[in-house]
Structure 1
């Protein structure tokens, strides 16, 4: 079996092992906290060991698209990356150029996957990577339905929170990566079966067995064993006279003028807003530094 390209750093090669890829014989959800190395390793493995030149589609928030591109250029310069973004005219130009421009990875956003779905669905994608995959937590959402219509060989979801609120969201992710095993019409059966998972150890174990073939979870012992234990140091410091005066002024502001059902909640939000403005503008007093 072919190896990674020589230009790839050793730490990137080791962050995703062949065993991990074999485990993902179906599809996968990667639980990650900090880095993109694991997914870049996956793309390199697909290209090198499996002789798949793509195209690979990476969908992410617009705010991290540049980060994706820079990480790929740094860690895997052998991958040709295109960014599919911009206004309507720019995207139309990109669409024309893509037919004549060789590339391995196309980076784009959730919104453009929906907006330009008719164009993107015409292509056969070897791998789809969805960053911040909790965006797919609702199988009735337009994004979920649109991406399900794409022509894909392999799907990878990146998330630090596969379960944000309830089991329905988890099942939505599972139905995306393996719809034949987790059809959406069985969502209620799944959630009712594992509804007591937090209080019944046997159910928790059963759920782990269901998830095990699809989840790749990275823990500190595997990827950062050299990091020292976290040390917390709490230092208490009293308020200065000026700070006390402003804190009291914030708390006493408009005291007694809040009514109706949500008065306490509104009051706390107002206090928080005033506090943030106060912290963001020093002590609001001339000659006093932050």
Structure 2
């Protein structure tokens, strides 16, 4: 990661374990029938989280019914294994269930990415430049203005980006390929792809500003082009995907209590969630789980 993506997501102070979290840890770290029963309850809880999450994302999966439930059960099973294997890593900075929910949400993301990867026709070979105006909300009556802007953007993509940056930009931005699916295709990670796209956005914005097509960072964006301008803007405090996923459970609990304070305390994470679609999706899912899934014992 470059210095632009370094930085703490926010301070996390260790707090005394709440009674429920302490009980989960005690029972899961035990042995015999007590542990078996705790694992069974944990799995049932994560099935509810995963099921809610796959149905929340279902409209984009072209799946329904048993197929969605199958993804949910696979995600819950893998999340249960991960949680029990990493009990020693739970630091008590959030409720145990919030920490465990995050594993389920991340597993759903992974399973959804593999679904797209395996689906015939999921990836487009051609660059879909014609779709870009609609994706950024350009109005037909402004075509004379945005056509020139998009022509400049295309030149910058071809001339300013490295081959890998260009490939990632085309796949994610033009062809609307999910970043996690692209990570599978390229045998890399979400964080590595986000870093590549982060650097590409920074280069493209600088090129367009230099040519007079966008406002500079200290000026207001040109009317009608704000969506593109926001996409190209990068925040030096952005912590990246790996750090965001490590502390997302902490941030979610703060958001449920005091959203404004959460954004102040975790400014780097908040900046990242605004810019990264996959991490933003995971955050929405984890927040929904914390608010809606009962922690049944």
Q: Classify the TM-score, shorter chain.
A: under 0.3
**Larger Rg, first or second structure (1 or 2):** 1
Higher relative contact order (CA 8 A, sep 6+): 2
**TM-score (norm: length of structure 1):** 0.23
**Structure in which a larger fraction of residues adopt helix:** 2
